[in-house]
Amino acid sequence: MIQETHLFKPFDKPLSLVTDAGVWNAPFELDLPDETLLNMYRDLVLSRLLDEQLGKLQRLGKTSFVAPNAGHEGAHVGVAYALRAGFDWLFPYYRDHGLVLALGVPLREVFGQTLATRADPNKGRQMPAHPGSGALNVFTAASPIASHLPPAVGAALSMKLRGTGQVAVATFGEGATSEGDFHAAMNFAGVQGAPIVFVCENNGYAISVALRKQSGSETIAAKAYAYGMPGYTVDGMDALACYYVMQDAVAHAREGRGPVLVELLVYRYGAHSSADDDSAYRPREEVAAWRRRDPLGRFRRFLEARGLWEEVQERGLRDELGRTLSAALAEAEAAGSVPTEWLFDDVYAEVPDTLLEQRESL
């Protein structure tokens, strides 16, 4: 769709399809059914409410760590809806709860991971904000920045060599583009024409370090050029722009035309994590200005303009999602904490004698 319009080229100003006022402003017709639009909005709101809920859990001392997602929801939903859930592979990073939720990872598992209960299919092995799902091909997140990018290229190569028709999508922040692994991955993907979409959720800050101290490049997307792949800069607060660009990028990769780099300009409303205080490095006016461009508000105004949404539905949705969140949290808590003995499982396919001995000494 976007390819056909030829509107969207590398180095263009960030692509936006819906104005801040919620008006569809694209040179092509919207082709998503109302039901999909309503589901997208539901996922946007769910992610925001989850974020608030996780913050509360952290303040209550029920979890050790939270990486706020608020401000990234439009990017998350746009990316998720462009993928074939459970078929394509997602290589997420630590600020992707909204993305994995929209892809179908159950809330129960997200809470299970946050609380390290048996509801976590990853068995409570990592600190919160590191989701993963074997069932949905969500490659369990790892903390070392950009270290998941070379593996994502490897998986994409396997897809290509075996002709599976799958696509790998890897997400990361703009700070990750400074790591050697980013270069190694982009370079190898470019050489091999691997079916992968690199998605940079550029929120302008790597903890406290601003983009201008991270890269001398005008945009992150510009880096694609040197690796022989298309690069796009998108208004990441516009869920539909994210969706349509990702849809094209994923199609590009799936059709065997090689990798794509997509830069989604978002903003992190909260601090980097529950262990960070962003007031030391970000002016409050800047945060407020970005909040006025909120992806939820824009999408709501868009739905309202199309006659698909009213205040009464908003209240109903928030009530319903609140109940859904409470139920999933209760379920995750009821699953019970991860047993101490699990400490020794999954180091290897089989527990070796040395670990059996060490388990005895617990």
Partner 1 sequence: MAQLNFVQAITHTLDFEMARDPRVVLLGEDVGKRGGVFLASQGLFDRYGPDRVIDTPLSEAAIVGAAVGMAAHGLRPVAEVQFSDYIYPGFDQLVSQAAKLRYRSGGQFFAPMVVRLPAGGGVKGGHHHSQNPETHFVHTPGLKVVYPSSPADAKGLLTTAIRDDDPVVFMEPKRLYRAFKEEVPDGEYAVPLGQARVRLEGDDVVLISYGGSVAETLMAAGALSEQGVSAHVLDLRSLLPWDKGAVLEAVARVGRVVLVSEAPKTAGFVSEIAATISEEILDTLLAPPARVTGFDTPYPYAQDRAYLPGVNRILRAVQGVLNY
Of the candidates 285, 353, 361, 362, which one interacts with partner 1 according to CB under 8 A? Answer: 353
The encoded tokens of residue 23 equal 């008006």
Q: Smallest distance from the beta carbon of 167 to partner 1, in angstroms?
A: 12
Residue 125 known to be catalytic = no
Residue 362 binding partner 1, by CB under 8 A: no
Identified binder of partner 1 from the candidate list 8, 41, 93, 139, rule CB under 8 A:
139
- The CA-atom distances, in angstroms, between 194 and each of 103, 158, 225, 242, 290 are 22, 9, 16, 21, 35
> What is the Cα–Cα distance from 62 to 273, expressed in whole angstroms?
15
Q: Identify the residue whose tokens are 């060599």.
A: 161
C-alpha distance from residue 267 to each of 41, 44, 92, 103, 154 (Å): 19, 15, 17, 21, 30
Site string for partner 1, 66-105 (x = CB under 8 A): -----------------------x----------------
The least distance separating partner 1 from the CB of residue 68, rounded to whole angstroms, comes to 22
Q: Is 233 in the site for partner 1 (CB under 8 A)?
A: no
SS3 call for 144: coil
**Cβ 206 to partner 1 shortest distance, Å:** 18
Q: Which of 284, 348, 361, 362 binds partner 1 (CB under 8 A)?
A: 348
Task: Choose which of 150, 195, 231, 295 interacts with partner 1 (CB under 8 A).
Answer: 150
Instruction: State which amino acid sits at residue 40.
Output: M
Interface with partner 1, residue 185, by CB under 8 A: yes
* Tokens 């992968």 sit on residue: 196
Of residues 2, 37, 149, 197, which one binds partner 1 by CB under 8 A? 149
Judge contact between 293 and 20, C-beta under 8 A: yes
| DSSP-derived 3-state class of residue 259 | coil
Q: Which of 43, 73, 96, 120 binds partner 1 (CB under 8 A)?
A: 120
One residue of 122, 171, 203, 233 binding partner 1 per CB under 8 A: 122
Number of chain residues interacting with partner 1 (CB under 8 A): 48
Burial class (CB in 10 A: 0-12, 13-18, 19+), 114: buried
- Strand duo 260-265 + 196-202: pairing: parallel
Q: Is 84 a catalytic residue?
A: no
Stretch that binds partner 1, among 21-29, 55-63, 68-76, 161-169 (CB under 8 A): 161-169
Half-sphere exposure for 148 (CA within 13 Å, toward CB)? 26
Q: How far, in Å, CA of 301 to CA of 22, rounded? A: 5
Residue (154 or 297) nearer to partner 1, CB: 154
Using rule CB under 8 A, residue 335 touches partner 1: no
Residue 222 Cα to chain centre, angstroms: 21
Q: Is 55 in the site for partner 1 (CB under 8 A)?
A: no
From 29-37, 54-62, 243-251, 349-357, span contacting partner 1 (CB under 8 A): 349-357
Can you point out the beta strands (E) in 215-335? Answer: 231-235, 260-265
Q: Is 300 a catalytic residue?
A: no
Q: Which residue is catalytic, options 72, 108, 268, 293?
A: 268
Identify which of 204, 213, 208 has the alpha carbon closest to the alpha carbon of residue 278: 208
Summarize as ranges the residues that interact with partner 1 (CB under 8 A).
Answer: 89, 120-126, 130, 132-134, 139-140, 142, 144, 147-159, 161-162, 168, 180-181, 183-185, 187-188, 191, 345-349, 352-354
Q: Which residues are catalytic?
A: 268, 272, 281
